[in-house]
Amino acid sequence: MTKHIAIIGGGYTGAAVAIQLSRQARNAHRISVVEPRETVGAGLAYSTSDPDHRLNAPDMVHFLTPDDQQHLRRWFEEQGGARYDAEAETADGALFIRRGDFGRFVAEQFAAHQNVNPSESSINHLRDRAIDIEQSGAMFRIALDSGHSLTADLVVVATSNEKPSIPKPFASSVAAHPAFHANPWHLPSIEGIPIDARLLFVGTALTAADLIVTRLRLGHRAPIIAMSRRGLRSTRRTTAASTFTGPFWDRIVRETSLFVAKHGRHEGLHDLINALRIEIQAAEARGEPWQAPFDDLRDSVWQVWPALPLAEKRRFMRHLRPWYDVHRFRLPPQVETKLDLAIGRGQLRYKAAHILSATSNGGGITVEYRDRFSDAVHTEDFGAVINCTGPEPRPDRTENPFMQALISRGLARVHPVGVGFDVDDTSAAVDANGGSNPRLRMFGPLTIGQFGDPQGTPFILSHICTQMPEIVKILEDN
């Protein structure tokens, strides 16, 4: 019997769910992807048109079907990528293609499955926005921004990357100031900043790196400061052979993860981190980079994280996540080179500081901050301030009406660690009363509280592929 599945969000995660469902289902179903953008597959992360915004991991970890992990490279070559993007390939043969090109790749694979798929399911793109959801019995009703609605037998929530919250010093006095750019992903406003404006980037990780390189390409002449409490920059990728010597998929779908196989299970952060440090020291003593032992942990988070008690998970989120993230999310070599040049000529500086206040000074913004290391308080004027603090991690604090509806109607709740939605081990949403709903599934960064690191595309795909047989069973056996 044909069932209707509604997928809310049409970035990589939503496209991957639609593709895997159409491939694994035994019967033909009706699949609707609700996505306001023109195409499905790009989402926020891969819809950028900026030529300097690249994937921060090489081509061999970006795929949509585990049985064809080289598809992106073939596609890039068939598109003549080496001619229009000569910088994409690094000296060791890895491809770091533009994020916009990866968005096109995913969109094309989605369109191909719309035309032909093994289950002969219909896959439709509803160019609309979900704003509300209700459940009645086994069925869901989803209200759309256009005024229309749809009913579904099963709903998959695949949205992510909500706008950053405005840091407290900027939230009242200068939030509406034209020199304050609250949304770093709105490129027209970033590109419109005068080239002689002193810039402050609030945040020092990948988003800031991308936009700094954008400004440099546009010929920005004035000084640029990137500031965060710890001043942590995204780390560099090793050029030594390590993680990518074999199929990446094999690393993340093992019965026993790489880190657990070497070190056993840990229920405390102290012992876990100590085991990692010892392995890194041993690797460096052999002349090997720290990235390889760290990558073993990264590729084992799906098994390491669930073993930690809730109190330890909360400790990690409060104190260790920024350190983990800067080692986990590394700079593409092309971006790294441009930043190094700007630092070398003295135009770009990174600072570890706590911002105390921000006030308008007419056309710009005056910022007062305390240096992390000297404790000295400084005041500086900036022509523009860009908020690069990262996506809002709590769904109950976003402006997304659909997420707000999930919570207000009791269909979902924030995870106990304080980030993302609460889901069970099968990615089924946990409701306000603590019960799991197998007909309401969530995938991608929204599940970070439960799975620890479901953020890179292969990790998202792994969760989808693992749970898809059960989703198909619910649809076709009931």
Give the domains, in start order, of the chain with CATH numbers: 4-162+392-476 (3.50.50.60), 168-235+331-387 (3.50.50.60), 243-328 (no CATH)
CA 292 to centroid of chain Cα atoms: 22
In the chain, what percentage of residues exceed pLDDT 90? 89
Q: What are the pLDDT digits (tens) for 450-470?
A: 999 888 899 999 999 999 999
Q: What is the mean pLDDT of residues 108-115?
A: 97
- Looking at the chain, the number of H-run helices and the number of E-run strands are 18, 16
Residue with tokens 């096109």: 104
Task: Give residue 239's pLDDT.
Answer: 62
Residue 294 has pLDDT above 90, yes or no: yes
Residue with tokens 């256009």: 146
Residue 240 has pLDDT above 70, yes or no: no
At 229, which amino acid appears?
R
Q: What is the mean pLDDT of residues 413-417?
A: 96
Among the ranges given (103-117, 158-172, 339-353, 376-390), the one the predictor scored with the smallest mean pLDDT: 158-172
Q: What are the pLDDT digits (tens) for 13-67?
A: 999 999 999 999 999 999 999 999 999 999 988 999 999 999 999 999 999 999 9
Contact by Cβ (8 Å): 150, 124: no
366 bridge partner residues: 359, 381
User: CA 111 to CA 163: how far, in whole Å?
Assistant: 28
Contact by Cβ (8 Å): 188, 49: no
* Confidence tier at 243 by pLDDT (50, 70, 90): low
**pTM metric for this prediction:** 0.95
| Tokens of residue 325, six digits | 């993230």
Contact by Cβ (8 Å): 156, 163: no
What strand order describes the sheet that includes 149-152? 130-136, 139-144, 149-152
Max Cα-Cα span within the chain = 69
Q: Are strands 130-136 and 122-126 parallel, antiparallel or unpaired?
A: unpaired
User: CA 437 to CA 474: how far, in whole Å?
Assistant: 11
Q: Is 264 exposed, middle or buried (0-12, 13-18, 19+ CB in 10 A)?
A: exposed
Residue 433 has pLDDT above 60, yes or no: yes
Q: What is the mean pLDDT of residues 256-267?
A: 92
